[in-house]
């Protein structure tokens, strides 16, 4: 379509420019279109000034609408704030309950830990006493072994001498007493075996 008119409004080949500004690289930049030739810039300004002028009644209505809108927005904001404050308080209470529950658990654990540490101290004392008793028993056992070895060496070496002395003593004794000593001599070797 070719239109005669302002050369600024037509493309170099004589066609009309695009109807919207979307074809431009910058979306905010507006191009003149073929409809602009029908509107004068003075007309645009006068139309804008007329549309901006408001009647006092409309201004009051508009102000009252704005005030009511503000009031409703404030009421909504206050209700949102009240709900948010309520939720925050509930969350605080829940967190406080959790903290108190955790504190009670920690307190119980500390009490158990204290009682266990006291039990450990008592057990360590008992173990120390048992170790001392074991040490004393081992010393007594060593003493008894030494005495047993001494007795074994005495009885082993001197047994022949003792038997000879006993026989000599039996010969000098009465015949009734000799029978008793012979029986005891016969019993001793059997017990040693």
Identify how many contiguous H helices and E strands the chain contains and give both numbers. 3, 0
Q: Which residues contact 34 (CB under 8 A, 6 or more apart)?
A: 3, 5, 9, 10, 16, 17, 19
The answer as to whether 34 is a domain residue is yes
Q: What is the pLDDT of residue 21?
A: 47
Is residue 152 situated within a structural domain?
Answer: no
The reported pLDDT for the residue numbered 158 is: 60
Instruction: List the domain range (segments joined by +) for residue 37.
Output: 1-53
Please, how many CA atoms are within 13 Å of residue 182, restricted to the half-sphere of its CB? Answer: 9
The string of pLDDT tens digits covering residues 7-56 is: 555 566 766 555 554 455 555 555 555 555 555 555 555 555 445 555 66
Residue 129's pLDDT is what? 96
Domain presence at residue 107: no
Note whether 127 and 121 are within 8 A (CB). Answer: no
Q: Is residue 4 part of a domain?
A: yes
Quick one: pLDDT at residue 190?
45
Count of domains for the chain? 1
Q: Which of 35, 28, 42, 30 is nearest to 5 (CA)?
A: 35
Tell whether 32 is covered by a domain.
yes
Model pLDDT, residue 148: 85
100: in domain: no
- How confident is the prediction for the chain on average, in pLDDT? 73
Residues of the chain with pLDDT under 70: 1-12, 14-61, 157-160, 162-163, 170, 172-193
pLDDT at position 168 is: 77
């Amino acid at each position: 379509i070719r239109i005669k008119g302002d050369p600024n409004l037509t493309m170099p080949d004589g066609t009309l420019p695009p109807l919207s500004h979307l074809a431009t690289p910058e979306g905010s930049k507006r191009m003149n279109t073929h409809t602009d030739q029908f509107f004068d810039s003075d007309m645009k300004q006068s139309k804008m000034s007329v549309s901006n002028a408001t009647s006092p009644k409309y201004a009051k209505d508009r102000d009252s609408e704005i005030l009511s809108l503000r009031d409703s927005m404030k009421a909504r904001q206050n209700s949102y704030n009240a709900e948010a404050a309520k939720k925050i308080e509930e969350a605080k209470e829940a967190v406080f309950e959790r903290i108190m529950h955790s504190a009670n658990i920690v307190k119980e654990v500390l009490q158990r830990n204290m009682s266990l540490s006291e039990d450990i101290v008592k057990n360590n004392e008992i173990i120390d006493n048992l170790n001392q008793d074991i040490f004393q028993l081992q010393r007594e056992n060593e003493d008894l072994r030494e005495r047993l070895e001494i007795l074994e060496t005495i009885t082993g070496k001197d047994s022949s001498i003792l038997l000879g002395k006993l026989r000599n003593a039996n010969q000098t004794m009465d015949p009734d007493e000799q029978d008793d000593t012979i029986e005891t001599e016969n019993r001793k070797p059997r017990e040693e075996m």
